[in-house]
Amino acid sequence: MKKILTGIKPSGVIHLGNYLGMIKEVIEFQGKYEIFLMIADLHAQTVPYSPKELRKLTLDIAKSLVALGVDPKKTVLFKQSDVPAHLYLYWILGCLVSEGDLRRMHEYKEQKEKHKENVGAGILMYPVLMAADILIYNADLVPVGKDQEQHLELTRELVRKFNNKFGKLFKIPQVYIPSETSKIMSLTNPLKKMSKSEPEGCLEIFENEKRIKEKILKAVTDSEAVVKYDPEKKPGISNLMTIYKYLTKKSYHEIEEEFKNKGYYEFKLAVYKAFMNFFKEKRERKKRLSDSYIQKLLILGAKKANKVANENLEKILKATGLR
Ligand code: TRP
């Protein structure tokens, strides 16, 4: 079976953009691929963070993933820091990567700007650890959001370098970018991607129902009062339509018909209802999952991940002269 690896940083709670952009796709791949789904707690350390918060978010994200449909029998769900082989390969790849290439990464420049001097070299090495995450499992396919594309390109470059120097140990991983759904925009600023940095525009899947309703009803629209898909002229309404489309499986055309001669309030109310309806069971499931059950799952996941990673590590150590 072909392998998928992907990671999610425990730097916030899961929102609709994360779900439609990547999680939903990974869940649909279950059974068709061998899936390694990792909580990237080491990556979360590259920007200022609190240990207590990191611990809490890591557990919470794992719980959310299971509630959303990650099946621990089909998917290896684990914490990145529980598999030391990632860090071993990270060092080896770090000695191969060119510093100039790292400094060219958009995300590096962005994060550096955001946190000014308040970050260590980890932020520069971030994509090298990502490459190690992927290659230690020799993954075939890596589902990621569009913002991670450049990091994947660097991974592919590192595979070429490594294979040239030490023998053909790694496959060149394919990037999988979920199409339209990766473009869920902020409700308050529909020209920007939905992100937790703009909480009012960010629909968190497990937050309280009142807040969800509030946020949807307050979403930015336009003054035309026509529900019509036109991302250029009507980015707010079009974004709500994209959300509604995925929650109800209706087409843009069907949505336009449904809300013909109806106001935005009615449309927004329908989006809210569709959201609650779509996530109802998942939200209830999350409440029933205990911390200790999730902790056990993560330990089990780490065991499986370590087995595969350590087997590959042996080969890597031999090829690179360390054994
Ligand atoms: N950097 C990714 C993100 O922010 C998370 C991640 C870490 C990842 N390691 C990975 C994704 C390896 C894919 C493969 O979304």
Query: What domains are there in the chain, each with its CATH number?
Result: 3-182+291-319 (3.40.50.620), 207-286 (1.10.240.10)
Query: 203 CA to middle of ligand 1, Å?
Result: 21
Ligand 1 centroid, distance to 174 Cα (angstroms): 14
| CB 43 near ligand 1, within 6 Å | yes
Query: What does the alpha-carbon distance between residue 80 and residue 133 come to, in Å, rounded to a whole number?
Result: 8
3-state DSSP: the chain helix, strand, coil percent, rounded to 5? 60, 10, 30
Nearest CA-CA partner of 284 in 71, 67, 70: 67
How many other β-carbons are positioned within 10 Å of the β-carbon of residue 274?
19
Strand partners, 8: 39
In the chain, the DSSP E strands lie at: 3-8, 34-39, 75-79, 141-143, 174-176
pTM listed for this prediction: 0.95
Does the beta carbon of 40 lie inside 6 Å of ligand 1?
A: yes
pLDDT value of residue 307: 98
At 201-218, the pLDDT tens digits run 999 999 999 999 999 999
Q: Is 123 in the pocket of ligand 1 (CB under 6 A)?
A: no
3-state secondary structure of 268: helix
Residues classed as catalytic: 112, 193, 196
pLDDT at 181: 57
Instruction: Tell me, in angstroms, the distance from the centre of ligand 1 to residue 202's CA.
Output: 20
* Mean predicted confidence (pLDDT) in 79-107: 97
135 C-alpha vs ligand 1 centroid, how far in Å? Answer: 13
* Ligand 1 neighbour 182 (Cβ under 6 A): no
Q: Which atom from ligand 1 is nearest to the alpha carbon of 8?
A: 5
Long-range contacts of 23-26 (CB under 8 A, 24+ apart): 23/65, 23/68, 23/70, 24/68, 24/178, 24/181, 25/143, 25/176, 25/178, 26/70, 26/75, 26/143
- Ligand 1, atom nearest to 22 Cα: 15
How far apart CA 241 and CA 27 sit, in angstroms, is 23
Give yes or no for residue 180 having a pLDDT over 70.
no
Mean pLDDT of 285-302: 98
Distances (CA, A) of 226 to 94, 184, 260, 268: 53, 20, 7, 12
Does the C-beta of 24 come closer than 6 Å to ligand 1?
no
Instruction: Tell whether the model's pLDDT for residue 304 goes beyond 70.
Output: yes
Tokens linked to 12: 């916030």
